[in-house]
Chains A and B, each alone.
Chain A
């Protein structure tokens, strides 16, 4: 196994302005390529902004839309993970994250868990994704969980069973500076979460959170990467638009999975059997 260089594209999108945001993503992609990154990851809804409300109807794009094709087309020398409002042929609107490589879309993840409580109203505007799968990226497998998806442990669990080596978590996480310890409550929660997943699934976890303000919401950035031993490899200690590149040594996954064979010992048959029974009992 080799190393891969991952660029964290911690951008501040402009709400509803696809042209400006696309130019920004292309600029970040260009800079990441000059820095010899193998893949660049952008936050949730990096092409559109987050608090869209009725704008969802206007900014939705099909996968074959020219703007989407332009960004996918920029993935000839660098893989790209970016997110937008995807409209399907039957006019359902999803929060989607695309993995593009060598000028092609190789995976689309549609956000499954749409927070609709407190300050969130995603369930009002978006359709719920209904699939969770990993995908091959050269010598390794990756999985995508968009923001709230990662607050449901079943999502990384399923991706882990599906062979994930790297979990990408594009996010639009708002901060609550007065609700917790050292930094914002959610920021600390995210750090704990990605470290725990990385350690339990002996994989890399790449969390890329957006920055900027939208109608008073403060997106706290602090994108971070955790390694397969659960240690943080990088935290972008900033609320600003910025890019960091982190090298992921994939051979560490091998070492860690030998030392701590949680994946080997995971009994999916037992889980499947009991979960099946529990679900049946519920009905």
Chain B
């Protein structure tokens, strides 16, 4: 078996039980939103596959009237992203809410002329988060996360930006599993088939940023995380050492994004260390 055949076979097995998760995720959204006392959900709709899947799940859980997606383009955002986001709204019969984030981003970076593309991208992600949380208060709607397991593990997101949410229905699904889920939910094919992109600058794609494909990443991540194989064992199965090492480095280097801020322990009961309650306690 060639390596690409092995990856295809592994991806197929990853996608195997994805249909079973739909009723679980729909019920998860319903129960968690009910517990919070909000009754509605709000999230950013980018035109990409992840937020589209969240939109479909949210409508399945709440119907169209309690689901509030927001399209938040910057002036350089790809026109096709906005068009794809609008297609999701049309398919689900959801109203259009659009907030152009260009004025506030440009005002800030007008005073920061040396800013790199990465700084700008992170600032945009946090601007969008800030708008979602403001709308959350206005609409009494719980902010939904749209980061998948591949992104969360590789740290491909902005801390307190797109990684921020109250509730993430898709955070335990790899990108290839999201693609299967999208097909099962009848997300428009143009969205499923286009190359994933953070759309922070022109012609950016996730896979060119990584240097490997999502299929490769998911198969290796599944081996490393779910099957608990060592990097050496993954390499022995025919994967390139440099790629496996780059994935391991990304997982470790981005651990900080997956945790709340750490607190210096001084007292006998310290938040997050020995003051331990489930979030449900406060619901």
Contact among A49, A177, A181 for B280, CB-based, below 8 A: A49
Q: Which residues of B contact A51 (CB under 8 A)?
A: 278, 280
Q: Does B189 contact A (CB under 8 A)?
A: no
Given known A-B contacts A177-B20, A183-B20, A239-B23, A213 and B277 have beta carbons under 8 A apart: no
User: Would A53 and B278 count as touching, CB distance under 8 A?
Assistant: yes
Q: How far is the CB of B119 from chain A (nearest CB, A)?
A: 32
Q: Which residues of A contact B278 (CB under 8 A)?
A: 15, 51-53, 55, 214-215
Q: How far is the CA of A65 from the CA of B155 in the complex (A)?
A: 50
A175 CA to B275 CA, complexed, in Å: 27
- Does A178 count as interface, using CB distance less than 8 angstroms? yes
* Set A15, A178, A218: member contacting B28, Cβ < 8 A: A218
Q: Which residues 164-200 of B sit at the A interface, judged by CB distance below 8 A? A: 172-173, 177
**Interface residue tally on A, bucketed by range:** 20 to 34
Dominant secondary structure of chain A at its interface with chain B: loop
- Identify whether the interface residues of B are mostly helix, strand, loop, or mixed: helix
Q: Does A103 lie at the interface of the complex (its beta carbon under 8 Å from any beta carbon of B)?
A: no
Q: Is the CB of B24 within 8 A of A218?
A: yes
The answer to whether B21 and A178 touch across the interface, beta carbons within 8 angstroms, is yes
**Docked pose: A150 CA to B275 CA in angstroms:** 31
Does A212 interact with chain B (Cβ within 8 Å)?
yes
**B283 lies within 8 A of A54 (CB):** no
B138 at the interface (CB under 8 A from A): no
Tell me whether B279 is interfacial, beta carbon within 8 Å: yes
Interface pairs (23), CB distance under 8 Å: A15-B280, A15-B281, A16-B280, A16-B281, A52-B278, A53-B276, A53-B277, A53-B281, A54-B275, A55-B281, A177-B20, A178-B18, A178-B20, A178-B172, A182-B20, A212-B31, A213-B27, A213-B31, A214-B280, A215-B278, A215-B280, A216-B28, A239-B24
Known: A49-B280, A51-B280, A178-B21; 15 extra A-B contacts, CB below 8 A, are A15-B280, A51-B278, A53-B276, A53-B278, A54-B276, A55-B281, A175-B24, A178-B20, A178-B177, A180-B17, A181-B17, A215-B279, A218-B24, A218-B28, A239-B24
